Amino acid sequence: MPAATLWQALADLVLPASCAGCGRSGEPLRHEVCAACAAAVGSLRAAPTRPDPPPPGLPACVALGPYAGELRELLLAFKERGRHRLARPLGALLAEAVAAATPPGAPVLLLYVPDTAAAARARHGDHMRLLARAAAARLREAGRSAAAAAPLRALPKADSAHLTSAQRAAGAAAGFALRSRGIERVRRTAPGCVTMLLDDIVTTGSTLAAASELLAGAGVRVDGCVTLAATRRIQPQRAIWS
Ligand SMILES: [Zn+2]
């Protein structure tokens, strides 16, 4: 391989030249995102979302947008394709949703749904930890008092792809444990703050409900949940003519 070609290949490996949202190459990128994709996700407006049926114990939930299009691609690139520089723009989007979900100016404490140890290893870091920290930093830049804390750890879990909603809810309830140091910090910080629980995507809501209930049992009230994306559940086929 000629040296120039090898250099080009290595450069591409280190600095992906294609947009993480649309995959186009040759566009100027900021934090791995082209201007068109940045505009697309920037036009999303956070709104309340509610799984149907909502699981018991699920706090009010706000999502930035549907799990589709550029938002979905950026999340997948960040979580599954190692595009870690997306933490900053995705954290900024999450901060917007937090701002929409909380009273203006109120100090916020951001908790998050953690990765399992295996997922965090595969991703070279807990992806929600990175997003929660980036969101808190963005809120502070905007003049808000904001901190991120980690009172939960995720227990190893079996593959849940083929489980029913009820089985997933039961699995979610058993999916977390409290981190004693993290929970102490949250107990100290939470009074006077609006406490929000963050995740990347809400589908059935069972994960957010289970994490919220575990925190409530430890004396930490979750005031609301904020996610980047909400999936639309595919309803079971109904007979049209019955
Ligand atoms: Zn793009």
Q: Check residue 241 and give its pLDDT.
A: 47
Rounded distance from Cα 70 to ligand 1 centre (Å): 8
Rounded distance from Cα 34 to ligand 1 centre (Å): 4
Q: Distance between CA 48 and CA 117 in Å, rounded?
A: 31
pLDDT tens digits for range 16-61? 589 999 999 988 889 999 999 999 999 999 999 999 999 999 999 9
Q: Check residue 124 and give its pLDDT.
A: 85
Chain length of the chain: 242
Q: Is the peptide bond before 51 cis (omega within 30 degrees of 0)?
A: no
Rounded distance from Cα 19 to ligand 1 centre (Å): 5
Q: Report the pLDDT averaged over residues 186-193.
A: 91
Rounded distance from Cα 20 to ligand 1 centre (Å): 6
Q: Report the pLDDT averaged over residues 176-186.
A: 92
**Contact 146/107 with Cβ under 8 angstroms?**
yes
**Contact 177/21 with Cβ under 8 angstroms?**
no
Q: Check residue 10 and give its pLDDT.
A: 56
CATH numeric code, 44-230: 3.40.50
Rounded distance from Cα 40 to ligand 1 centre (Å): 9
Rounded distance from Cα 21 to ligand 1 centre (Å): 5
pLDDT tens digits for range 85-128? 999 999 999 999 999 999 999 999 999 999 999 999 988 899 99
Amino acid letter for position 225: C
pLDDT tens digits for range 112-171? 999 999 999 988 899 999 999 999 999 999 999 999 999 999 998 766 667 677 766 666
CA count, 13 A, side-chain hemisphere, 24:
11
Asked if the model's pLDDT at residue 221 lies above 70, the reply is: yes
Asked if the model's pLDDT at residue 238 lies above 60, the reply is: no
Rounded distance from Cα 89 to ligand 1 centre (Å): 13
Q: Check residue 1 and give its pLDDT.
A: 46
pLDDT tens digits for range 57-80? 999 999 999 999 999 999 999 999
**Contact 12/65 with Cβ under 8 angstroms?**
no
Ligand 1 ion: nearby residues, β-carbon < 5 Å: 19, 21-22, 34, 37
Rounded distance from Cα 235 to ligand 1 centre (Å): 31
Q: Distance between CA 42 and CA 80 in Å, rounded?
A: 22
Rounded distance from Cα 75 to ligand 1 centre (Å): 13
Rounded distance from Cα 69 to ligand 1 centre (Å): 11
**Contact 49/67 with Cβ under 8 angstroms?**
no
